[in-house]
Amino acid sequence: MDISDLLISQREVKGKILIVDDQIINIKILRQLLHDDYDIHMAKDGHQALEMCSSVKPDLVLLDIEMPTLNGFEVCRELKNNPKTTDIAVIFITGHFDEEKEVQGFQLGAVDFIHKPINPIITKARVKNQFMLKRQNDLLLKFALYDGLTGIANRRHFEQRFSENWRLCAREQKPISLIMLDIDQFKQYNDHYGHQQGDDCLLKVAKALSDTVNRPFDLVARYGGEEFICILPNTTFIGAQHIAQKIIANVQAINIQHEYSNVAKHVTISAGVATTIPEQEHLHDLLIELADKQLYIAKKQGRNQVAAFEVTNISID
Ligand SMILES: [Mg+2]
């Protein structure tokens, strides 16, 4: 995914709005007002609203405050406490102006209030403003977490995900593996073919990597320059080596000509694998160092190959 593709896709996709109200008539009024510009979903109580926020993932929720069983404030609190729904923007719909309630709503994380009876112009404007803010936030987040050239995760994204995965695997006592990768003789490639073609090579290799490492919880990131890293949570030593071999084969298969490499006549990649069952939370950096060391060994042994190491217990010594 390229940044310009991202911008285009952001512009083309219709925003999703979930309207929540226990009075069908109120839902109808809002739907009528907004359905030309947005993809509208509806829920008639708080429980249904929470379910739909998880399944539909709306950008924005128009949330009635006064509802039986689960009221709007309770729904908002649940949404904000769940990492999967915390980014959804909430606008409260309320029957009467009550300053104390509005303060409470903003403190719960709402972005705005709309008062009933609905004024069409004010409502449309408020929804549009919040929607644009949400889109800009999403875009900023994407710029912050993805590499501008290759479109895969960047190093910051890797670091976030790695510590999350490390904690999860530590709790469940499952193995976690890293594959550190480096394009062989990339300096020679750049020197002879130029940086433009060098970028093109990085893009193709990144694509080969993300096509190979594609289970839902795996992550492929650009670690720096021509270096990449894969996180394979819940993956054994044998499994990780198998994936590393596959990566090497798939990079060879795209067959990017490299006349100036002393490994082969095409671009190749070396891989260092490290696996452990995490014991202590703060030691995850050591696994990166170990993978890096294995990469160094793979390079020393002639490149275009995997070197791997399994640690049974990472500890400081
Ligand atoms: Mg109501």
The predicted structure's pLDDT at residue 283: 77
In a domain, 150, yes or no: no
Q: Are residues 297 and 172 in the same domain?
A: yes
Same domain, 174 and 109: no
- Check residue 317 and give its pLDDT: 46
Does residue 227 lie in a domain region? yes
**Considering the domain boundaries, does residue 317 fall inside one?**
no
Residue at 94 is within a domain: yes
DSSP 154-178: -HHHHHHHHHHHHHHHHHHT--EEE
Q: What would the pLDDT profile of 139-149 be if each residue is shown by its tens digit?
A: 888 889 999 99
Q: Which of 12, 226, 259, 310 is catalytic?
A: 226
159 given a catalytic annotation: no
Span 220-249, average pLDDT: 97
Q: What is the pLDDT of residue 105?
A: 94
| Residues contacting residue 243 through CB under 8 Å, at least 6 positions apart | 179, 212, 213, 230, 232, 235
What is the reported pTM? 0.69
Burial 231-265 (b: 16+ CB within 10 A, else e): bbbbbbbeebbebbeebbebbbeeebebeebebee
Say what the pLDDT of residue 284 is: 83
Question: Are the CB atoms for 195 and 127 separated by under 8 Å?
Answer: no
CATH of the domain at 282: 3.30.70.270
- Residue 1: the pLDDT is 45
CATH of the domain at 107: 3.40.50.2300
- Answer with the one of 145, 180, 200 that is the final residue of a domain: 145
The answer to whether residue 11 scores a pLDDT higher than 80 is: no
Considering only 11-15, 146-150, 174-178, 208-212, which range has the smallest mean pLDDT? 11-15
Query: How far is the C-alpha of 106 from the C-alpha of 177, rounded, in Å?
Result: 43
> Are 161 and 78 contained in the same domain?
no
* Residue where one domain finishes, among candidates 118, 145, 172: 145
Shared-domain flag, residues 169 and 279: yes
CA distance linking residue 161 with residue 154, whole number of Å:
11
Number of domains comprising the chain: 2
**Within this chain, do residues 184 and 65 fall inside the same structural domain, yes or no?**
no
Whether residue 209 is predicted with pLDDT greater than 60 in this model: the reply is yes
pLDDT at 14 over 90: no
pLDDT digits (tens, 9 = 90+) for 164-207: 999 999 999 999 999 999 999 999 999 999 999 999 999 999 99
pLDDT (0 to 100) of residue 314: 56
Q: State in Å: Cα 148 to ligand 1 middle.
A: 46
- The pLDDT of 268-272, averaged and rounded, is 98
Last residue of a domain, one of 145, 171, 203: 145
Mean pLDDT of 81-89: 89
C-alpha–C-alpha distance, residues 1 and 206, integer Å: 11
Enclosing domain of residue 44 = 3-145
- Residue 101 has which token pair? 């309630």
Same domain, 68 and 171: no
Q: What pLDDT score was predicted for residue 138?
A: 83
Name the H helices within 194-261: 195-212, 237-254
Question: Ligand 1 centroid to 285 CA: how many Å?
Answer: 52
Same-domain pairing of 244 and 116: no
Q: Rounded to an integer, what distance in angstroms lies between the CA atom of residue 198 and that of residue 205?
A: 11
CA of 81 to the centre of ligand 1 (A): 23
Is pLDDT of 114 > 60? yes
Dist. CA 15 → ligand 1 center (Å): 24
Whether 112 and 213 share a structural domain: no
Quick one: what percent of the chain has pLDDT higher than 90? 82
**Is 268 strand, coil or helix?**
coil
Cβ(250)–Cβ(208) below 8 Å: yes
Check residue 33 and give its pLDDT: 95
Do residue 40 and residue 184 come from a single domain? no
CB-based contact 96:66 (threshold 8 Å):
no
Mean pLDDT of the region 99-111:
93
